[in-house]
């Protein structure tokens, strides 16, 4: 899919892990002479790819130079998405919220005039964030839509609430902006009146498609032998102290053992000293680093526990384990 210059062309469909910019770099860890000789022969692939799990169409390709005179290439990828549960929206008053449910249009409540709302938001958001301007926007938007005239919606402006109330009353509506609504499910009149009006909503960049994360298997870190951390590294979700407490509370003993044995490893322990024995692969023997005896017992434990023992030894603390042959 790359062009002759090694850069992808605009309007090309791309999927996760596909190359956008073809690039090679010289091998590292060479001396100056070796680098000069091998620079033209051995190269490693350093191509820039689309992130794993993403897809789209190349929108634009920018080829320019940096202030230092180096070549700079930027690729913009676009993707058409539908709004889904978990996406974040916000009004122009900073009243943010996450979509919790998407229902069919016929199940939405409607007014006597047949108007169905696009969004129903929780009124508990008003006292906490105190976005009074949004309530005035709903009133002003209703007046503007019904009377076909502009209403200045600038925050702290001179358009008084009394004027909006009076205009609504003149237009045959309740002055507080509330209306009786009918349930789209049962067809019955809803108890109480509902505040309804037009209001600008904007979609934020926080979309669930960018944040959803799961894995069955994948890379692990070299030091701890635990799964890598972070969505970009195809990492796992952390099973922390509180998650452990939940499993204990539910009595899920087998699941608890399985989750906390992902890095299970066997280690030789000296019966006499209780310290982790040393394995000499050259001579093919196992011995205690303190008493030099080879009388050991093998235990199965988490690799992270052995790592902690080594870190304690670095601090001058030598922990001893009490072991029994079972």
Q: pLDDT band at 28, cuts 50/70/90?
A: low
User: What's the domain range around 61?
Assistant: 13-78
Q: Which residues pair with 60 in a beta bridge?
A: 76
As a whole-number percent, the residues of the chain with pLDDT over 90 amount to 51
Asked whether residue 114 is domain-assigned, the answer is yes
Q: 144 and 198: one domain?
A: yes
Q: 99 and 46: one domain?
A: no
pLDDT at 149: 87
pLDDT at 326: 63
pLDDT at 24: 85
The predicted-structure confidence for 152-190, as pLDDT tens digits, reads as follows 877 677 668 888 899 999 999 999 999 999 999 999 999
Q: 298 and 273: one domain?
A: yes
Could you give the strand order of the β-sheet that contains 55-65, starting from the edge strand earlier in sequence? Answer: 13-15, 55-65, 71-78
Q: 103 and 188: one domain?
A: yes
Q: 257 and 267: one domain?
A: no
| Residue 44 pLDDT greater than 60, yes or no | yes
Q: 254 and 269: one domain?
A: no
Q: 249 and 269: one domain?
A: no
Q: pLDDT band at 130, cuts 50/70/90?
A: very high
Q: 111 and 194: one domain?
A: yes
CATH number of the domain encompassing residue 40? 2.40.50.150
Asked whether residue 185 is domain-assigned, the answer is yes
Asked whether residue 2 is domain-assigned, the answer is no
pLDDT at 33: 55
Q: 270 and 257: one domain?
A: no
CATH number of the domain encompassing residue 234? 3.90.1800.10
| Residue 35 pLDDT greater than 60, yes or no | no
Q: 247 and 296: one domain?
A: no
Q: pLDDT band at 217, cuts 50/70/90?
A: confident
The predicted-structure confidence for 46-97, as pLDDT tens digits, reads as follows 889 998 778 899 999 999 999 988 899 999 999 999 999 999 999 999 999 9
Q: pLDDT band at 210, cuts 50/70/90?
A: confident
Number of domains in the chain: 4
Q: 268 and 304: one domain?
A: yes
Q: 257 and 274: one domain?
A: no
Asked whether residue 8 is domain-assigned, the answer is no
CATH number of the domain encompassing residue 171? 2.40.270.10
């Amino acid at each position: 899919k790359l062009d002759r210059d090694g850069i992808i062309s605009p309007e090309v469909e791309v999927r996760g892990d596909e190359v956008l910019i073809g690039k090679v770099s010289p091998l590292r860890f060479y001396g100056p002479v070796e680098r000069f000789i091998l620079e033209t022969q051995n190269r490693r692939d350093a191509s820039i790819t689309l992130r794993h799990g993403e897809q789209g169409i190349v929108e634009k390709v920018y080829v320019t130079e940096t202030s230092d005179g180096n070549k700079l290439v930027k690729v913009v990828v676009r993707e058409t998405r539908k709004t889904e549960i978990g996406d974040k929206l916000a009004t122009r008053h900073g009243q943010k919220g996450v979509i919790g449910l998407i229902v069919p249009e016929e199940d939405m409540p409607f007014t006597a005039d047949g108007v169905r709302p696009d969004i129903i938001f929780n009124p508990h958001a008003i006292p906490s964030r105190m976005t009074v301007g949004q309530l005035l926007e709903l009133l002003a938007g209703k007046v503007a839509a019904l009377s076909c005239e502009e209403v200045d919606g600038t925050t702290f402006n001179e358009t008084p609430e009394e004027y909006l109330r009076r205009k609504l009353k003149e237009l045959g509506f309740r002055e507080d902006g509330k209306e009786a609504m009918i349930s789209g499910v049962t067809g019955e009149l809803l108890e109480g009146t509902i505040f309804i009006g037009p209001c600008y909503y904007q979609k934020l960049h926080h979309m669930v498609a960018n944040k959803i994360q799961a894995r069955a298997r994948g890379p692990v870190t070299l030091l701890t032998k635990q799964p890598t951390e972070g969505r970009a590294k195809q990492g796992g979700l952390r099973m922390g102290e509180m998650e452990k407490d939940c499993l204990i509370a539910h009595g899920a003993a087998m699941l608890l053992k399985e989750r906390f044995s992902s890095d299970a490893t066997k280690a030789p322990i000296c019966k006499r000293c209780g310290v982790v024995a040393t394995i000499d692969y050259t001579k093919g023997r196992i011995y205690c680093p303190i008493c030099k005896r080879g009388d050991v017992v093998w235990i199965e434990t988490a690799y992270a526990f052995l790592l902690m023992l080594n870190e304690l030894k670095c601090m001058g603390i030598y922990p001893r384990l009490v072991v029994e042959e079972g």
